[in-house]
Amino acid sequence: MKKILLLFAFLLVAYSANSQVLISLLFGEKLNSPNLEFGLDGGVNFANIANLETSKYLPIFNLGFYFDIKIKNQLMLHTGVIVKSNQGADKLDPYSLDNENMDEQFSDGYVTRKINNFSVPILLKYRFAERFHIEAGPMLALRTKGYDEFKNTLIDEDDLTYKLAIQDNYKRIDAGIMCGAGLKLNKKIPKSAQLGVRYYYGLVDPLIDNPGKSQNFSSWYIYFSIPIGAKKAEAKTE
């Protein structure tokens, strides 16, 4: 029990994806039971921010751990922590840096905005036809860092860059709704790897003292889930 509590504490504060993978591989079997599935959940999400002119979707890798907790029959609660989770937008118009020389250097470039978060989905998940599932529910996020990266091309593509910290412009907490669908890759195995897609839309304006239209976060997630230690846990119960 002490090992499990230490594992939770470590994962919640760890910023290193490598450490997260190592801990999960070591203790995954202790977090699996007939009514509980534990594993790694990662992939790529395409993030955007509402009501920003010229913004494009920003592709970002994400990684976390998950729990599928059986409630009744085919109904489960899906939760966990997406440790490496980001929101943002790409191809924003550059704005003034209060420096004439820098403003001139980046005037015909663009800005990539990235807001780093720890995210916690709390989804009801329903499985049907043995391998398919749908899910929906709230997701909460804790903002850690944030920056605008100014980019321009002098000789090679995007060889001129400048990072500006902007985390103080954003609220610490974000909240919204997530929904998705997916499938088990092997319907014969109770706890199989899964592939799916999720969509998140923030319900609050994350920008502090925003005088204009709400700049809600949104993101499409393409994910791949791998149960950790499930086979060993099942073997011990046989």
One DSSP character per residue, 175-201 reads EEEEEEEEEES-TTSSS--EEEEEEEE
Tens-digit pLDDT profile for residues 12-41? 444 444 444 444 444 445 667 888 999 999
Q: Give the total number of structural domains in the chain.
A: 1
pTM of the model: 0.83
Confidence of residue 71 (pLDDT cuts 50, 70, 90): very high
Structure token digits, residue 6: 């230490």
Write the pLDDT tens digit of every residue in 108-143.
999 999 999 999 999 999 999 989 999 999 999 999
Question: Residue 6's CB: how many other CB atoms inside 10 A?
Answer: 12
Query: Are 27 and 3 contacting, i.e. CB atoms less than 8 angstroms apart?
Result: yes
Tokens of 194: 């899964």
Determine the Cα–Cα distance for residues 89 and 109; give it in Å rounded to an integer: 15
| Cα–Cα distance measured from residue 170 to residue 86, given in angstroms and rounded to the nearest whole number | 13
Using alpha carbons, list the distances in angstroms from residue 222 to 57, 95, 126.
Answer: 14, 32, 18
Among candidate residues 221, 225, 202, the one with its CA nearest the CA of residue 46: 221
Taking a C-beta distance cutoff of 8 angstroms, is the pair 158, 152 a contact? Answer: yes
Report pLDDT for 21: 47
Q: Are 121 and 82 in contact (CB under 8 A)?
A: yes
Which residues form the domain of 109?
A: 2-237
* pLDDT above 70 for 183: yes
CA 87-91-93 angle, 5° bins: 110
> In this structure, are residues 207 and 170 in contact, taking their beta carbons and an 8 Å threshold?
yes
Q: Supply the CATH number for residue 142's domain.
A: 2.40.160.20
